[in-house]
Amino acid sequence: MLQQVNGHSSGPNAHGGELREDLQEFLGQDAPLHLLDDLTKVNPVTLETVLRCLQARYMADTFYTNAGCTLVALNPFKPVPQLYLPELMKEYHAAPQPQKLKPHIFTVGEQTYRNVKSLIEPVNQSIVVSGESGAGKTWTSRSLMKFYAVVAASPTSWESHKIAERIEQRILNSNPVMEAFGNACTLRNNNSSRFGKFIQLQLNRAQQMTGAAVQTYLLEKTRVACQASSERNFHIFYQICKGASVEERLQWHLPEGATFSWLPNPERTLEEDCFEVTREAMLHLGIDTPTQNNIFKVLAGLLHLGNVRFADSSDEAQPCQLMDDAKCSVRTLASLLCLPEDPLLETLQIRTIRAGRQQQVFRKPCSQAECDTRRDCLAKLVYARLFDWLVSVINSSICAEPNSWTTFIGLLDVYGFESFPDNSLEQLCINYANEKLQQHFVAHYLRAQQEEYTVEGLEWSFVNYQDNQTCLDLIEGSPISICSLINEECRLNRPSSAAQLQTRIESALAGSPCLGHNKLSREPSFIVVHYAGPVRYYTAGLVEKNKDPIPPELTRLLQQSQDPLLKVLFPTEEKSQEEPSSQSRTPVLTVVSKFKASLEQLLQVLHGTTPHYIRCIKPNSQGQAQTFLLEEVLSQLEACGLVETIHISAAGFPIRVSHQNFVERYGLLRRLHPHTSPGPYSPFPDEGHSGWSPHAKEAMLQPLLQDILHTLPALTQAATPGDPAEAMPASVHCGKTKVFMTDSTLEVLERGRAQVLEQCARCIQGGWRRYRHRKQERQRQAAVLIQAAIRSWLTRRHIQRLHTAATVIKRAWQKWRIRMAFLASKELDDVEEKHLFQAPCSLSSFPLPQAQTRLLGAIIRLWPLGLVLANAAMGVRGFQRKLVVWACLQLPTSSPSSYTIQTIQEQAGVASIRALPQGSIKFHCRKSPLRYADICPEPSSYSVTGFNQILLERHRLGHV
């Protein structure tokens, strides 16, 4: 046997020289051992070669390794935060093939998540996390819950996002609460689960997490009142003692430096002693602060209950008296639990007995041992009820409505296999549960798969494996087993003897190979050879623990409490099960019977799911990092049957699909076969032919199966074009009712299916795009015609409006021009200028050039324009201006020098150019009827302000 301490091996090989040669050949391979991420690639597959691979990977800080259908998880015993980042979770979730990535628990989580939404067989999934105590099962389950909380939440709307976020937070917050109240520090693990739990993560049709449900098994409530050496009580007691504030200490009567007998090793500080994390998690679960304070007050009362000690009474007729230092503890206990002090003390000291047909009541003082037992029973009863109430609160907070979820993923985290120096009923139940889970693995994978190969007609040579059915028959078999003998001792109304129970077990079960004997032991005990190793169980106190008697007076006492929490835990209408009537006395369920029933219920749930296995391995029992003890790891590998699992996984076919489901999913691969017509076929032979026999259906499916399987060589060659050796047909076998194949074959089929779907999608896309293009072209042509018609109509309407507007403007302009001409002629006709008629002017008397004569004629015809030009600031200059003035005023041209035109600005009055100086002047000052005639358009000194004020200037211009 190999031996190793801290990575250095010593000792000869105990398996012969042939195995040593194989091992040397294996160790001399070119590839480093730590790069073998799948143990099925190890050649040869032996315990030593598997052990060497795990050791090399552990020393290289690689803690996860595939072993066929199982994932091996080595406990690193140190924080490795980079292995559990949310980014890494999303990477495994988004990967097309997560199995191609490095082995991880996220690979198992993603595989279960994809199987839930699988189109072939969407069935419920379960993950069984197994291993010894301290192997890392609790951490693995916690990390898987975080993974599902990240990947199983993709809501679209903001409101649904908030709801999903709240559900995920509550599910994750259930872990700290349950670990605080259900985990404790043991010899092998600082955070050992002292109960089993099955977490059901509920998913809706869109594969989104809508809720969860927690089912617990066998809480180790005896730890409240009894702790082994170097172990601790539940974490919550240390949390309230270390994390309470000054006010809370006064309220809960927990002074600094106080010692409690039920709080051993308080000086040890663990990572789990974080009170604020527990309080915040309880707050998120809906447990408000007053209820939390009430819970912690009851727990503080249980700590004070542990300090209640009795002195042995010399007189059996007198009850045992309290120790001197216990009186204060009773007073504090009664105050914290809101119980009357005297009835509380009397219940612990005096036992009530009902005897006779009339059920007469007798009161008998208890001995010191009985008083201690009743005290411990009171603590266990309160704590067990409190734990169950917390589980119900958690379920009510995180559980979804039955119609809101369709499938689930189950996480099973149970206590690991335990073997302590002193083992009792708790260890027997724990190891019994591990035996059942090991049998589930054996029955589901090692045995069932090989038997299925034979039934389906595959050529298969059986792989030997360790079957633990013999051990299970010893523990739970019928008609005689260890459990049945213990229950029979409980039913017999007589004092139980430890030696007598040992004798009965050894004599009744002497023929079982799994029952051992230890003749050197002084105390009565028996040995059970489990799959993980032999364990010795002491029979002393075994029957009493199995009875788990609860005195009815204790229940009645707690029903009298005025504490709000205890009123909920112990309602007054509850009837004690320990008080059966005389007419119908039914046997009370024992601890073993209740645990066996709950375990059977759990296995029924597991059998209805597709299981996945994670084997947690503890590299060493000291909890040290980078320390790999070969002997300890080797015993764990032998116990869980890992080598046999690797053999079957390497040679077997983990993927099995029924013929009909296979044809339904991969029937479209017939399109890739050149000799097969991709004509239509019906994957449902029973449609319309309900009377067909199964043989007829199988006969119709066989040609389709053969057509699909004929495409595998081409698919495999297309997958590996560079290596013709790997282009051989994939390993696949067609059984009588199922198709068996390996993971590589499934990948090839899925790749070919994706290729055909891509071709079909491209064909559909091409047809759709062609149809859409034609439709768009027709729509474009129609739009052009409509646009042309609308534009022509708009143009015609615009031109018509322009014609109408032009006609209106033209008519208005003509009317205005006629009116202006009429007004101007009327204004000029009203002026009396008689001297002009007496001396008519003649153009011929004043000789002018021909050009000027033409200009003068034009000016005379257009006299208004001549008036404006004569008074303009910029216009005709010099001689032409003088002609304009003469022509406009129609002056005689005989002697032009005799007339002087001037403006008078400095003199008062107005001078007009229409009157001659020597004649009479008639000044026309009537307002002009022309519109805007009296308004100056521009503030210029030379501007014309009206026809009646032309040439009126304020400055002298001189002679023209």
Alpha-carbon span 183 to 373, nearest angstrom: 23
E strand intervals along 84-222: 125-131, 183-184, 192-193, 196-203, 209-217
Q: What range does the domain containing 21 cover?
A: 1-74+619-652
Is 137 flagged in the annotation as binding? yes
The domain boundary residue, chosen from 611, 628, 652: 652
Rounded CA-CA distance 217/419 in Å is 19
Do the annotations mark residue 651 as ligand-binding?
no
What pLDDT is attached to residue 73? Answer: 94
pLDDT value at 15 more than 80: no
**How many residues are there in the chain?**
960
pLDDT for 545 equals: 87
Q: What is the mean pLDDT of residues 259-271?
A: 90
Query: In this structure, is residue 90 part of a structural domain?
Result: no
Tokens for 670, please give them: 């017939």
Q: What average pLDDT does range 669-682 have in this prediction?
A: 57
Q: Is the pLDDT of residue 296 over 90?
A: yes
Q: Is 783 annotated as a binding residue?
A: no
Asked whether the beta carbons of 552 and 579 are under 8 A apart, the reply is yes
Beta strands in 162-256 (DSSP E): 183-184, 192-193, 196-203, 209-217
Q: How far apart are CA 773 and CA 259, in angstroms?
A: 86
What distance lies between CA 256 and its chain's CA centroid?
43
When pLDDT is averaged across residues 134-159 and rounded to a whole number, the result is 79
The whole-angstrom separation of Cα 450 and Cα 429 is 30
What pLDDT band is residue 838 in, cutting at 50, 70 and 90?
Answer: very low
The span from the CA of 346 to the CA of 94, in Å, is: 66
β partners of residue 198: 215, 412
Q: How far is residue 395 CA from its own chain's centroid? A: 18
- Span 538-576, pLDDT tens digits: 998 888 888 888 888 899 999 999 999 999 999 987 654
Distance of CA 421 to the CA centre of its chain: 44
Inside any domain, residue 747: no
Select from 632, 652, 672 the last residue of a domain.
Answer: 652
Q: Is residue 876 part of a domain?
A: yes
Cβ neighbors of 43 (< 8 A, separation 6 or more) are 26, 49
| In-domain check, residue 900 | yes
SS3 call for 776 = helix
Cα 170 to chain center, whole Å? 12
Structure tokens at 101: 């990535």
pLDDT recorded at residue 575: 57
**Please, are residues 179 and 235 in contact by the beta-carbon 8 Å criterion?**
yes
637-657 pLDDT per residue, tens: 887 778 877 877 777 776 777
Which tens digit of pLDDT belongs to each residue from 344-363? 998 988 888 877 676 677 78
What's the confidence (pLDDT) of residue 163?
65
> Are 637 and 50 within 8 A, CB to CB?
yes
Range from 419-423, 634-638, 720-724, 860-864 carrying the lowest mean pLDDT:
720-724
- Domain edge (last residue) among 628, 652, 676: 652
pLDDT of residue 303: 94
Closest residue by Cα to residue 149 from 109, 184, 114: 109
User: Which pTM was predicted?
Assistant: 0.68
Q: Contact 198/602 with Cβ under 8 angstroms?
A: yes
Look at phi and psi of residue 698 and say left if phi exceeds 0, alpha if psi is from -120 to 50, else beta.
Answer: alpha
In a domain, 774, yes or no: no
Task: Provide the pLDDT for residue 533.
Answer: 84
Query: Could you tell me if 650 and 462 are in contact, meaning their C-beta atoms sit under 8 angstroms apart?
Result: no
- For residue 652, what pLDDT is reported? 72
The pLDDT tens digits for 147-185 are: 988 887 655 555 556 666 777 788 888 889 999 999 999
Contact partners, residue 450, CB within 8 Å, separation at least 6: 460, 462, 463, 648, 652
Residue 336 scores a pLDDT above 80: yes
The arithmetic mean of pLDDT across residues 833-852, rounded, is 49
Minimum mean pLDDT range among 269-283, 562-576, 597-611? 562-576
Determine how β-strand 533-538 pairs with β-strand 610-617.
Answer: unpaired
The lowest-confidence range among 80-84, 480-484, 653-657, 897-901 is 897-901
352 versus 919: the higher-pLDDT residue is 352
Judge whether 542 lies within some domain.
Answer: no
pLDDT in tens, 373-417: 899 999 999 999 999 999 999 999 888 888 888 889 999 988 778
Question: Can you tell me whether residue 811 is helix, strand or coil?
Answer: helix
Of the candidates 51, 72, 47, 48, the residue with the CA atom closest to the CA atom of residue 62:
72
Give the pLDDT mean for 662-675: 74
CA of residue 85 relative to chain centroid, distance: 14
- pLDDT the model gives residue 719: 56
Q: Between 840 and 892, name the one with better pLDDT.
A: 892
Identify whether 933 is part of a domain.
yes
134 is in an annotated binding site: yes
Backbone phi, psi, residue 7, to 5°: 90, 0
Q: For 739, phi and psi rounded to 5 degrees?
A: -105, 125
Q: Provide the phi-psi class of 286: left if phi over 0, else alpha when psi is between -120 and 50, else beta.
A: left
- Domain assignment present for residue 383? The answer is no
- Report the C-alpha gap between 413 and 128 in whole angstroms: 7
- What separation in angstroms does the CA of 614 have from each of 81, 437, 606? 20, 12, 15
410 known member of a binding site? no
Residue 246 has pLDDT above 60, yes or no: yes
Q: What percent of the chain has pLDDT over 90?
A: 30
* 132 annotated to bind ligand: yes
424-443: pLDDT as tens digits:
998 899 899 988 888 888 77
How far is 301 from 334, CA to CA, in rounded Å?
A: 8
Domain count, the chain: 2
Compute the C-alpha angle 858/863/869, nearest 5°: 90
The pLDDT value recorded for residue 957 is: 43
Structure tokens at 190: 């600082």
Across the chain, what does the average pLDDT equal? 78
